[in-house]
Structure 1
Amino acid sequence: MFARRISGRPRSAATVLVVLGALLACVAPPAGAAPHWGPPAPPNPYLGPAGTSTMHGDAGSTDVTPLPGPGTGRHSLSAYPLVSACPTLLQGSDRLVVALCTAVAGQVPTVHLIDPAAPAAPFGRSLARFELAKGSLLGGVYAYLDNDNRLVVVDGNRQLLRLGHSRDAGGAWRLTVDSRVDLSGSVPPGDNVTGLTPDWNGNVWFATGGGVVGAVDRAGIAHARALPAGEEVQNSISSSPAGTAVASTHALYQWSFRDGDLHLDWRRDYDRGGSRNPGQLSWGTGSTPTYFGPSTGSDFVAIVDNAQPRAQLRVFHIESGDEVCTLPVLADPGGSENSPVGVGNSVYVAGTYGYPYPVVPPGAGPAEPARAPFTGGMARIDIDPIGCHEVWNNDVRSAAVPRLSTGDGHLYTVIREGPAVTTPLDGFSFVVIDPADGSLAHTSPLPGTAVNDTLQMSGLVTDTGDFWQGTVTGILRIRAE
């Protein structure tokens, strides 16, 4: 790239550095510069509303919503004490909230239908509930709402279900199985689906903890491929108009469905480190892949690897799989179990190193070290013409997957308060972060301690501007007064 000539002479190293420095001064905004949101990817026609139909907001798992949140003013707090951990909170076009929770007693996955317009207190009752067959710790966690407001999920019996909701003759709400596809011919006994998403042609893609990638076509026929021996998929999967991204414990893949079958577009290895990090649930990336980009909304796909002692952001072109950049992020040591937030030419990464998960999936392997302080930290990285660069980093200890609102320009999350060495007495606060410079724009303490542990779960911004956050015991609703 240095063979071009100026005034007929080769560029010297010093000249190159001066030119690159001038270029970066023009294209690399300093901390405090407003990010460029860019256009979103075109809506997936087989999903519900943008920003509220998947755990990570959309098919590309951007963790971005066009809806404005509660902002930086005074907030009120309500609780839905469901005696369950609630990692998946979704809202359909009918404005009802569908929550996929795991009951504390028996660890049974349970779907709750909630009217967000009804008072949450005193009991936070759901309109209807539906128990799913139990699978693994992460099996059945990831689900989405389709374009008919049905919850699409795979239960512990390896059944792909579409759960609809309606009123019966007496006016009571009920959740019912509208359709069922048996995946037992593609998912081996003892394995569980950990990732689920539709593509732009209506095929429903899935991935399993045991390393199977598959798609159910529109005729209801399942097609599947096994990843190389030893590779697991312990996070959800994402789709874009170009393909479906799957991050295994060894590599990032992009697949497409052509001519009636699965095709591997490309595969890229990443640094998985020498062991599982404390604060992560598997030995490998903790990321659901994030599609993002300034031109189409899905020019690139990103994960955070498990390099040690310091994790790296990895960004690839979606068409070719060519590397855009690899950049160390977060603290040393550090890592992340969370999917990056991606929009325009910016990526936001939250650190989870040392987060005290009460249990990890079977087969996750020991962490090295077994325990560590929860260091947290968050960073914004921007793509530029020659790769990428860090715009800012802070010491925010996010205890949830951050959610970025392009509707109001705020980054929302819940942080863990207290010393770096965590205890059950730690508190939690809802915070609003300025994505331009990483500063805290607002903090609202949440009542209680361990009962409000958000356990690195995703939040939801509803169409009325409320922020819903799952905890280990139910759901919190934060509303602007």
Structure 2
Amino acid sequence: MPKTLRALASLAAVSAITLGGGLASAQPAWGPLAPPNPFLGPTGTATMHGDAGSSDATPLAGPGAEAVGVTSYPLLAACPTVLQGSDGLVVALCTSVLGQDPTVHLIDPAAPAVPVGGSLAQLKLAKGSLLGGVYAFLDNQNRLVAVDGERKLRRVGHTNNTLFIDSTVDLSGAIPDGDAVTGLTPDWQGNVWFATGGGVIGSVDAAGVARTVAVPAGEQVQNSISTSPAGTSVATTHALYQLSLAADGTPKIDWRRTYDRGSARKPGQLSWGTGSTPTYFGPTSGYEYVAIVDSADTRVNLLVHRTDTGQEVCKIPVLGSGGPGSENSPIGVGNSVFVASTYGYPYPKVPEGAGPAVPASAPFTGGMTRVDLDGAGCHQVWDNTLRSSAVPHLSTADGHLYTVLRDGTGGPLDGYAFAVVDPNTGSILRRTGLPGTTANDTLQMSALITAQGDYLQGTITGILKVGANGSGSLGSSGSSGS
């Protein structure tokens, strides 16, 4: 499909969701997605995982299985959060290579040339935990919302070439000294929910008042959190929770379900326990279910629960080819869930206090599994050996899975390739080599599919843009395969 037509298809899909009608007809193969959160920026581009429910599915069309070009934005920073506002500008929350400072970058992906330094503007935030420079979202005013190392909730606004702190809420009275926020997202009433590494879960109302609840001692939150019209989902290192607000605005636990966290942290995971940000999905409302992957020792399981009761819908072994571990949020859309293995992935650093991996290391074999829900529970549709080195995303507009694959043995000479995958079969539709070796390690980070149909992928040194029809400035190198 030509790029202009893909862009129109993306806009049509977003319009169908925004108007609240025609979603099923606009997306017959995949969906529905949950209703857009009115306090987030544009649908598909305002959170790391595509939406408030962390579905990792988007109504925007990607580059498709065509020849593509690649553009590099060298930022001297690892960029796990790459978002796009309604003005078309990209706002990325990165961690600088020198100093490890969380840094916000502003990028114009439509500009004919990459500016010196890779971005139009940058703004440093106070340093906190390793994960403190990872999770953020764009609100409905195109402001980046993050909690910095000073335990302050910052809303970062921008003009065409400037970044600035637009508002601040001090959360030091709600977050203990030494603790840090690991995930945050708004609910459907505009409250900003957050969770800390130490196990504090809180909500900040429109007046800037924070109220919190603590999970049992010893439980940590090492991934982001998700919201849906049904509530807020948080996965700790021991259990999956759903929460809502009591009459006085204090968070309350609606249900809690433990899972098998295994006997130790695994190689290729950043904490001992699930690596999942909880994923809301479902065939009717788009959020009837919530899913995570456990961390059982010999074979991990996909766990699906009902959002209203916490009842287990199904538990099924996944990643039979890829090794027992996933640090990534699953994709959830309609009746389908996709899980990617990160077992053995050679992360250069893990968070402080993560503990030793058992075994100390393992080969990164890779592998992805698709599971579908049915009347009797769920069943495996396919299981492959693709070595995904990024969080995969599914476009409901064009029906493709997008990710980056790692080539090699886990060493400094490994290469990377942009991959378009058929979600029906798990086979590769097109594979395109990316420039560089481990200087462009995608480090299991999440990508952004833009409103223009480009794929923006964070690496440990900046961002790569993959665009159809030669829109990338470094030329194209596509090849078909399966």
TM-score, normalised with respect to structure 1: 0.90
Quick check: 2:201–2:213 contact (8 Å CA) kept in 1? yes
Partners of 1:399 and 1:120 in 2: CA distance = 27
| Counterpart AA for 1:338 | N
How far is the alpha carbon of 1:72 from its aligned partner? 0.9
For the Cα contact (< 8 Å) 1:79–1:120, is it kept in 2?
Answer: no
Counterpart amino acid of 2:118? R
Task: Say if 1:321 and 1:298 are closer, same or farther in 2 by CA, change over 3 A.
Answer: same
1:478 to 457, 466, 471: 466
Q: Is contact 1:304-1:311 (8 Å) kept?
A: yes
Question: What is the SS of the residue equivalent to 1:301?
Answer: strand
C-alpha displacement at 1:280, in angstroms?
0.1
| Aligned residues of 2:225 and 2:233 also touching (Cα < 8 A) | yes
Q: Give the CA deviation at 1:220.
A: 1.0
Tell me, in whole angstroms, the C-alpha distance in 2 between the residues paired with 1:374 and 1:423. Answer: 11
Partner of 2:294: 305
TM-superposed deviation, 1:119: 3.0
Q: Does structure 2 conserve the Cα–Cα contact (< 8 Å) formed by 1:452 and 1:472?
A: yes
2:88 equivalent to 1:95: yes
Q: State the AA in 1 paired with 2:68.
A: H
Q: Which amino acid aligns with 2:466?
A: I
The 5 Å alignment of 1:59-70 reads 59-70=52-63
Equivalent in 273, 279, 285 of residue 268 of structure 2: 279
Among 436, 449, 470, the alignment partner of 1:461 is: 449
Question: Counterpart of 2:439 in 1: which secondary structure?
Answer: helix
After TM superposition, list the pairs within 5 Å mapping 1:300-339 onto structure 2.
Answer: 300-331=289-320, 333-339=323-329
The match for 2:221 is 233
What TM-score do you get using the length of structure 2 for normalisation?
A: 0.90
Please say if residues 36 and 344 of structure 1, whose CA atoms lie closer than 8 Å, have aligned partners that are also in contact. no
Which amino acid letter does the alignment assign opposite residue 69 of structure 1?
Answer: G
Q: Deviations over 1:278-297 (max 9, x none)?
A: 00000000000000000000
Give the Å deviation of 1:120. 4.4
CA shift for structure 1 position 35: 9.1
Q: Which stretches in structure 2 are left out of the alignment for 5+ residues?
A: 1-26, 470-482
CA distance in 1, matches of 2:140, 2:403: 27
State the alpha-carbon separation in 2 of the partners of residues 252 and 476 from structure 1. Answer: 34
Instruction: Choose from 355, 372, 379 the match for 2:369.
Output: 379
The structure-2 alpha-carbon separation of the partners of 1:354 and 1:79, relative to structure 1 and needing over 3 Å to count, comes to same
- Report the alpha carbon displacement of residue 452 of structure 1 after superposing the two structures with TM: 1.1
TM-fit CA distance, 1:122 = 6.7
Match of 1:405 among 392, 395, 410: 395
Seen in structure 2, the aligned counterparts of structure 1 residues 326 and 120 have a Cα distance that, compared at 3 Å, is farther
Change in 2 beyond 3 A, CA 1:166/1:192: same
Residues in 2 aligned to 1:451 and 1:47: alpha-carbon distance in whole angstroms:
33
Q: Distance in 2 between matches of 1:77 and 1:122?
A: 16
SS of match in other structure, 1:138: helix
Deviations, residues 327-347 of structure 1 (Å, cap 9, x unaligned) = 110037421000000100000
Q: Tell me the residue number matched to 1:390.
A: 380
Equivalent position to 1:364, from 354, 363, 368: 354
Query: Residue 292 of structure 1 corresponds to which residue in structure 2?
Result: 281
More displaced stretch, 333-342 vs 273-282: 333-342
- Distance in 2, matches of 1:120 and 1:213, equals 43
Q: Which residue of 1 aligns with 2:72?
A: 79
Seen in structure 2, the aligned counterparts of structure 1 residues 285 and 120 have a Cα distance that, compared at 3 Å, is: farther
Give the letter for the 1:287 counterpart: S
Q: Distance in 2 between matches of 1:303 and 1:199?
A: 20
**Change beyond 3 A, Cα 1:157–1:473:** same
Pick one of 342, 350, 355 that aligns with 2:332: 342
CA offsets 1:70-105 (integer angstroms, 9 cap, x no match): 111111111000000000000011111000000000
Off by >6 Å, runs of 4+ in structure 1? none
Aligned counterparts, 1:35-54, within 5 A: 36-54=29-47
Q: 2:414 aligns with which of 402, 426, 436?
A: 426
Whether contact under 8 Å (1:351, 1:378) holds in the other structure is yes
Match of 1:24 in 2: none
Counterparts of 1:377 and 1:244 in 2: how far apart (Å)?
29
What is the Cα deviation at residue 140 of structure 1?
3.1
SS of 1:469 mapped into structure 2 = strand
Name the CA distance, whole Å, in 2 between partners of 1:360 and 1:140.
14
Answer whether contact 1:37 1:406 (CA < 8 A) is retained: yes
Pair member with larger Rg: 1
| Contact persistence 1:35–1:435 (CA under 8 A) | no
Aligned partner letter, 1:392: W
Distance in 2 separating the partners of 1:206 and 1:147: 18
Give the drift of 1:424.
1.0
TM-fit CA distance, 1:38: 2.5
| 188, 192, 195: which one aligns with 1:204 | 192
CA contact (8 A) 1:140 1:193 kept: no
Q: Is residue 417 of structure 1 aligned with residue 407 of structure 2?
A: yes
CA contact (8 A) 1:79 1:477 kept: yes
Deviation for aligned residue 1:124: 5.5
- AA of the residue aligned to 1:194: T
Query: Does the 8 Å CA contact 2:31/2:396 hold for their aligned counterparts?
Result: no
Residue 36 of structure 1, CA deviation: 4.4
Give the secondary-structure state (helix, strand or coil) at the position aligned to 2:371. strand
The match for 1:265 among 237, 254, 261 is: 254
For residues 115 and 148 of structure 2, the distance between their equivalents in structure 1, rounded to whole angstroms, comes to 31
